[in-house]
Structure 1
Amino acid sequence: MLPLLPQQIAPADARQQALTETHLTGRINELTGYFLALRADVDRKLAAKLPPATGKPYPYGRCEEITREAFALLTQRLPQAQTATDLALRDFAANGGIVRTVWGVLREQYFQNALQFGSLYVDVANDTVDLAKPKVEILPMADSGLLDVRDLAHFRQTAQSYWGAALYANHLLPSLAPLLPIVSVSPGRLKPGLQSACDYMIALMCRDEFRQAEAWLESGPPPPADIARAVLSKAPADLHAWTADPRQEAITACRRARSAGCHTDSQWRDARVLDYLRARRQ
């Protein structure tokens, strides 16, 4: 069995189901109230701090930030458990229960961040796409509709339907193409930029030694001139393509990275992520 990618849904085997049943299943109403209170603490911290996302006020579009902050608060509270729910969650984890953040495609409609507790799906940002929904949703993971992103094609399909994105091959910044092979633009939602810099997708590109990335770079359309200008205007010159054939340069970057074993080199990965941040900063 392949090791889990960052934020991949962990299999809820018989042991996880038993731990969930023992410690959590009978407490769903209690857990819902607990996570609503946790969400209120998150909202107090983030609502005044985060600007509107695509012109819509908090919490719209802030699934990642809310989930990350809720998980951080949770990891601070459980070692100092003060309530019965704290104790139940701490005992669940101490006995080997899975507690992790997860990310994937929800009901084949949009990208979603959530928390996994054994065989339970806990969404503490359930209202960040539809503000009329409850803030917190707790379901059996098997009934949640959350799926791992299977491959680059699955990511592209979801980005196109959820973001209304136009997607192109990253022939612009070839050294980043093995990890970030897509250029996306979504008018009114996402400015032109590279996809996807989340840990899961970067690890997914490394898992097959950049072969999915290479295939897209070979077959995907190049960015139109206006999109290319928007991306290149932010990126430092040392990241720009330097040959007369940027498409081949991006493909070659994948092949060289594979040959050099970069898919297992965390320092190489971290250096590329820092380059990506430089490409967004200017």
Structure 2
Amino acid sequence: MSDSIQWDEKQVDIIARDLAYLRLQVDLELVPRYPMFLDKAYPLGRCKEIRDEVFALLQEALPKATEPGLVLMRKALAKGATLKKVWGSLRDEYFQNAMVLGDWYIDVSNDTVNPNKPRVEILPLAQSRFSSIASFEQFIKIAGSYWGVEVYRNDICPALAPFLPLMYVDAKGGCWMGEANDDMLSLTMDSQFLLSERILTGLPALPTVFSNKWKNSLDSIKNNAFIHGEGLSLDFCRAYRQQQRYLDMSFRDDAVMAYLSLPKRVS
């Protein structure tokens, strides 16, 4: 296997130290930009921003690096391993943005849930208990406890529901639609909208107080077939499958653009 990398404990510590130094550089830039996430101080809730900035720094640093940890990473790449960004479930407890190098899990934002943890964690991928999200049921189980939300089916924009089947309500009375990241959109399309259809069948309807607020918000948005299309969410799932919309990336992009024109949340 070309990307099988054998690092011992000492080498892992050396890599972690060099990545922690890059992370410190990133923190200096991000703290002024993102001092708070909701009511939580940096770095809480900023795993994506941190991971993305460290990943960008690595692209610049690795080709000419002399630091021993970064040299080990470069040697792994030279042997055929790939370094990629990943997002998914960590122990089915929370969502995490991390990196994978070959068969190693590299988390440079390990302290974004618990700030007392080390900034960097490196583990064999098989031991990390990190996995891609495989279903909306799995996603909701994590979101409910990690975000503290109740989850409902998207009847607000039924034409968007095959791509974005979920509506969230938090303890502060905020309500929003999701989840529009590439991984979750791929989940809908790779399943030919069957996973969306399944979760829409099982979720309760949004409470009337929130559906009324959403309807008022949508009235002020320029007419859009995804936003104002009428019908049942399940029927749209079946129609898009019949029309093979799961193969149509421009249709997906139009759906995302429609979503981006919606309010971030109503309350």
User: Which stretch of the first structure deviates more once superposed, 68-77 or 174-183?
Assistant: 68-77
Shift in Å, 1:203:
0.2
1:210 matches 2:193: yes
CA distance in 2, matches of 1:171, 1:252: 11
Residue 120 and residue 33 in structure 1: after superposition, are their counterparts in 2 closer, same or farther (change >3 A)? same
CA distance in 1, matches of 2:121, 2:85: 15
Question: Does the 8 Å contact 2:3/2:102 carry over to 1?
Answer: yes
Q: List gaps (5 residues or longer) in structure 2.
A: none
CA distance in 1, matches of 2:243, 2:52: 34
Question: Does the 8 Å contact 2:227/2:258 carry over to 1?
Answer: no
Partner residue, 2:245: 262
CA distance in 2, matches of 1:216, 1:155: 11
Match of 1:276, SS? helix
Residue 257 and residue 131 in structure 1: after superposition, are their counterparts in 2 closer, same or farther (change >3 A)? same
Question: Does the 8 Å contact 2:15/2:70 carry over to 1?
Answer: no
User: Which stretch of the first structure deviates more once superposed, 211-220 or 101-110?
Assistant: 211-220
Match of 1:69, SS? helix
Normalised to the residue count of structure 1, the TM-score between the two structures is 0.84
Partner residue, 1:199: 182
1:79 matches 2:63: yes
1:34 matches 2:18: yes
Question: Does the 8 Å contact 1:193/1:231 carry over to 2?
Answer: no
Deviations 1:36-62 (A, max 9, x none): 011111111111101411201111111
Residue 41 and residue 280 in structure 1: after superposition, are their counterparts in 2 closer, same or farther (change >3 A)? farther
Among residues 187, 195, 209, which one is paired with 2:171 in the alignment? 187
CA distance in 2, matches of 1:47, 1:229: 38
Partner residue, 1:60: 44
Partner residue, 1:111: 95
Partner residue, 2:134: 150
Normalised to the residue count of structure 2, the TM-score between the two structures is 0.89
Residue 60 and residue 229 in structure 1: after superposition, are their counterparts in 2 closer, same or farther (change >3 A)? farther
Partner residue, 1:271: 254
Deviations 1:197-231 (A, max 9, x none): 11111101111100111222233211112322454
Shift in Å, 1:80:
3.6
Equivalent residue runs for 1:117-128 within 5 Å: 117-128=101-112
CA distance in 1, matches of 2:13, 2:125: 17
Partner residue, 1:135: 119
CA distance in 1, matches of 2:127, 2:216: 45
CA distance in 2, matches of 1:141, 1:87: 20
Match of 1:270, SS? helix
CA distance in 1, matches of 2:183, 2:108: 20
Residue 42 and residue 253 in structure 1: after superposition, are their counterparts in 2 closer, same or farther (change >3 A)? same
CA distance in 1, matches of 2:131, 2:264: 32
Among residues 9, 12, 21, which one is paired with 2:6 in the alignment? 21
Shift in Å, 1:92:
1.7
Deviations 1:39-94 (A, max 9, x none): 11111111110141120111111111111111122112223434343333223223
CA distance in 2, matches of 1:232, 1:131: 40
Residue 151 and residue 49 in structure 1: after superposition, are their counterparts in 2 closer, same or farther (change >3 A)? same
Residue 153 and residue 177 in structure 1: after superposition, are their counterparts in 2 closer, same or farther (change >3 A)? same
Shift in Å, 1:242:
4.9
CA distance in 1, matches of 2:121, 2:161: 37
1:172 matches 2:156: yes
Question: Does the 8 Å contact 1:234/1:281 carry over to 2?
Answer: no
1:252 matches 2:239: no
Match of 1:48, SS? helix
Shift in Å, 1:177:
0.8
Equivalences, count = 261
Among residues 211, 214, 228, which one is paired with 1:228 in the alignment? 211
User: Which stretch of the first structure deviates more once superposed, 232-241 or 148-157?
Assistant: 232-241
Partner residue, 1:3: none
